[in-house]
Every structure is written in C-alpha cells, then in structure tokens.
Amino acid sequence: MSRIGKKPVSLPQGVTASVNGQTVTAKGPKGELKFVVNDEVLVKMENNEISVEPRDQTKNARSKWGMSRTQIVNILQGVKDGFEKKLEITGVGYRAALQGKNLQLALGFSHDVVYQTPQGITIAVPKPTEITVSGIDKQQVGQVAAEIREYRGPEPYKGKGVRYADERIVRKEGKKK
C-alpha cells in the first residue's frame, strides 16, 4: 500500500484547484499549472482536499498512486511558491553572465556557450560564479539546471565545472612520482 498516496492533499492558502475528470488544474499567485492523472488512478476533490486512490488493486495502478499524489503536491507548491535550483561554477576563468534572456557561459572552451532560456523559466546570475534557475514547474526547473550542468560537469581531480550548490564532489588523488 502507498503510504504517501493515502494522505489527502490540502490546498495551500491563496491557491484554487479544480478536478475535471482526470485533469487537476491549480491557479495561484505565480501562475497556472495542469496535471493529467493516469486513468488507473481516481482523483476526487472534497472540502478543499484532493484525494487520490487506485481504481483497482493491480500492481500498475498502485505504483501510479503515490506518484500522482506527489505530482499534485508539486503543482500546488509551484503555483504558490515556485521552485529554485542553485548552481555554482568552479574553475579559473569559468563564469556566467546574462545576455538579454540568454545565459552566456565561459567554461574553458574556445568559445562561449549560449544557453537559450525556455519559456516559464527565469535565470538569474547574482555573482559570475553563481546561477539561480527558478520557475513554477519543478520538472522543468530541474531539467534546465541539469542541461546547464551538463555543459561542463564537475571533474574529480580539481573539482572544476558546474555543480549544484548542495552537491558534494568526491575528489580523487592525482598522480604521484
């Protein structure tokens, strides 16, 4: 049994939600998001709480039960507060700058990398070695942060590259004579 799926989702202050068939729509101060729940899961809204339960007790339906509830929680949190990922750049001459809406990265290549910011995502560069990716869709924020990190991931010898702010790099020892 899903322990997380059993808990009903209560609506946060300032957020309105509606369930229309298998579509859950949430509106809040940051914007509006929709999530289409799988057909094997039943979604109901009663007195400001959204409850999720499997239609039958098959393994497939039960596996989608908790995930559906978590997705609903994520869209409610996204339209209320939004999500944010912080990236750090380490390395001599490695830096980031905003060029209009695009992110320009100097990562030791012969050219600068220009990352086009997708719609619904805000990128801020408070310092040349820090990048903040924010938006209302948790999946999209994580995807954009992963794409930026992918240009030059952290290497294990000197720790140079782009890494998440809370990421710990396991360092290796260099050559010995």
Task: Kindly provide the residue ranges of all beta strands, DSSP E only, lying in 60-120, ordered along the sequence.
Answer: 83-90, 95-99, 102-106, 113-115
Closest CA to 65 of 53, 82, 48: 53
pLDDT value of residue 78: 93
CB–CB of 109/95 below 8 Å? Answer: no
In the numeric block, which tokens belong to residue 33? 């998001």
Three-class secondary structure of residue 102 per DSSP: strand
Distances (CA, A) of 67 to 2, 50, 58, 60: 9, 14, 15, 12
CA distance 158 to 160: 6
pLDDT value of residue 135: 94
CATH of span 3-80: 3.90.930.12
pLDDT value of residue 1: 61
What tens-digit pLDDT sequence spans the chain (177 residues)?
Answer: 668 888 888 988 888 998 998 899 999 999 999 999 988 999 998 888 999 999 988 888 888 998 999 999 999 999 999 999 999 999 999 999 999 999 999 999 999 999 999 999 999 999 999 999 999 999 999 999 999 999 999 999 998 999 999 999 999 998 888
pLDDT value of residue 88: 95
pTM: 0.88
Fold for 83-164, please state it. Answer: Outer Surface Protein A; domain 3 (3.90.930)
pLDDT value of residue 26: 92
Q: Which long-range contacts (CB under 8 A, 24 or more apart) does 142-149 make?
A: 142/83, 142/85, 144/85, 144/117, 144/118, 145/85, 145/87, 147/115, 148/87, 148/103, 148/105, 148/115, 149/87
Q: Where does CATH 3.90.930.12 sit in the chain?
A: 3-80, 83-164
Tell the residue number behind the tokens 């596996």, with chain if given: 63
